[in-house]
C-alpha cells in the first residue's frame, strides 16, 4: 500500500497550529520533527534518563509536521483541504512565528514500523565466548555460548557499544557457581548472559515495568527458569523494600545505565558488591568520565579496567 506524506515546514512554536490545521482538514495521522535546540532542551531536562555521544543525530535543522493519508483518488479532496488549511494559516495574525509553512506532498511505500528494525539486528559475536542471536534468526553452527534475544520494547540488544563492553567484562568476571546482580536490566541481556556463563543465580532490576515480562521471556527462551532467575521492578535508589529484597553481597554487580544514575548508585553498589567482587558500569559518555570515576572512588571503588568506543565508556571496578 502507498501513502501520501504531507510535510509542512514550520518552527517549534508553530507545530501546534500546523497540527490543528491538518487535523481540521481530516488528517489525523501526524508526526512532529523538532529542532535540535528543542531536542537538546528536553534531553537536558531528562538528563537522569538520557546521555548521548552522538548529539548531532538528534533533532532536525528545520522543524516540520508530517501527515499521512492513503494514496488513493478518494483522498485527493483531503489533500486539497490540507493545502487550503495551511494557506489560511499564512493569513492569520498569530502570536507565534509559523516559519515558511512550505508544504510538500510525496507518495511513499507503506512500512512495517514494528518490524523493519529487525533487518539491522543480526547475530553478533561478542568477546571470545558469546554469540547474541536474534530470536527470529536460525541458530548457526558455532562453539560459542548462544544467547537468544528478542529485546521487544526494552533496551538491550548487544549491538550498542555500552552493552557490548559490559558483556565483554562479564565474560571475564562471571565465575561458575556464583550469583550476579543486574541493576537496570532492560531486555535482561546481561543477567541472562551471566547465567549462561555459569552464574548460579541472577537477579535483574529495572525501573520500567515492561522489562519484567521481556526479561522473563528472554530467559525462558534460553532455558533459564525462575528458580534461579528473578526480575524485580522499582526504583532501587528510593524503594527501601526493593533494597531489602536485593540485599546481599554479589561477586558481580552490573549497571549499564547513564552517568547520573551510576553516580547515585555507587554508594549502594558498594554495599552490594562482595569483597573481591566487581562492579561493572557502562553507558558513560566521554564528557562524564571524570565525574563517574570521582563518584566511584568516593564510594570505595577503584577502576581497574576502562573500555571506550565511539564516545562511550565502561569501567570494571573493584
Q: Model-level pTM?
A: 0.72
The whole-number pLDDT of residue 120 equals 63
Lowest mean pLDDT among 23-37, 155-169, 170-184: 155-169
Cell (9 digits) for 111: 512500512
Per this entry, what is the length of the chain?
A: 318
Look-up of cell digits 532455558: 223
Mean pLDDT calculated for residue range 193-198:
97
Residue 288 or residue 136, greater confidence? 288
Helix-, strand-, coil-residue percentages of the chain, each rounded to 5: 35, 30, 35
Confidence at 110, pLDDT banded by 50, 70, 90: confident
* Predicted confidence band of residue 80 (pLDDT cuts 50, 70, 90): very high
Provide the mean pLDDT of the chain: 90
Burial 75-95 (b: 16+ CB within 10 A, else e): beebbebbeebbeebeeeeee
Q: Per-residue pLDDT tens for 209-259?
A: 999 999 999 999 999 999 999 999 999 999 999 999 999 999 999 999 989
The whole-angstrom distance between residue 92's C-alpha and the CA centroid of its chain comes to: 41
With H, G, I as helix, E, B as strand and everything else as coil, classify residue 192. Answer: helix
Cα separations in angstroms, 140 against 1, 149, 221, 265: 35, 14, 16, 39
Amino acid at each position: 500500500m502507498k501513502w501520501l506524506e504531507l510535510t509542512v515546514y514550520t518552527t517549534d512554536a508553530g507545530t501546534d497550529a500546523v497540527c490543528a490545521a491538518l487535523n481540521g482538514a481530516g488528517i489525523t495521522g501526524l508526526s512532529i520533527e523538532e529542532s535540535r535546540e528543542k531536542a537538546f532542551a528536553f534531553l537536558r531536562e531528562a538528563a537522569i534518563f538520557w546521555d548521548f555521544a552522538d548529539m548531532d543525530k538528534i533533532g532536525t535543522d528545520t522543524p516540520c509536521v508530517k501527515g499521512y493519508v492513503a494514496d488513493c483518488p478518494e483522498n485527493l479532496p483531503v489533500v486539497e483541504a490540507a493545502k487550503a488549511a495551511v494557506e489560511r494559516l499564512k493569513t492569520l495574525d498569530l502570536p507565534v512565528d509559523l516559519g515558511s509553512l512550505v508544504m510538500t506532498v510525496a507518495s511513499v511505500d507503506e512500512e512495517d514500523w514494528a518490524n523493519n528494525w529487525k533487518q539491522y539486528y543480526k547475530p553478533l559475536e561478542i568477546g571470545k565466548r558469546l554469540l547474541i542471536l536474534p530470536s527470529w534468526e536460525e541458530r548457526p553452527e558455532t562453539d560459542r555460548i548462544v544467547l537468544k534475544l528478542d529485546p521487544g520494547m526494552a533496551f538491550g540488544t548487544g549491538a550498542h557499544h555500552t552493552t557490548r563492553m559490559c558483556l565483554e567484562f562479564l565474560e571475564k568476571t562471571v565465575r561458575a557457581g556464583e550469583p550476579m546482580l543486574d541493576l537496570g536490566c532492560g531486555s535482561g541481556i546481561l543477567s541472562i548472559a551471566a547465567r549462561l556463563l555459569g552464574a548460579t543465580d541472577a537477579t535483574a532490576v529495572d525501573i520500567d515495568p515492561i522489562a519484567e515480562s521481556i526479561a522473563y521471556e528472554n530467559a525462558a527462551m534460553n532455558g533459564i527458569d525462575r528458580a534461579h532467575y528473578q526480575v524485580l521492578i522499582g526504583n532501587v535508589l528510593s524503594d527501601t523494600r526493593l533494597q531489602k529484597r536485593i540485599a546481599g553481597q554479589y561477586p558481580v554487580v552490573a549497571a549499564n545505565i547513564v552517568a547520573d544514575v551510576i553516580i547515585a548508585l555507587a554508594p549502594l553498589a558498594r554495599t552490594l558488591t562482595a569483597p573481591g567482587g566487581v562492579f561493572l558500569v557502562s553507558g558513560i559518555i566521554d564528557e562524564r568520565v571524570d565525574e563517574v570515576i570521582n563518584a566511584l572512588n568516593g564510594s570505595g571503588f577503584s577502576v581497574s579496567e576502562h573500555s571506550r568506543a565511539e564516545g562511550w565508556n565502561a569501567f570494571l571496578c573493584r
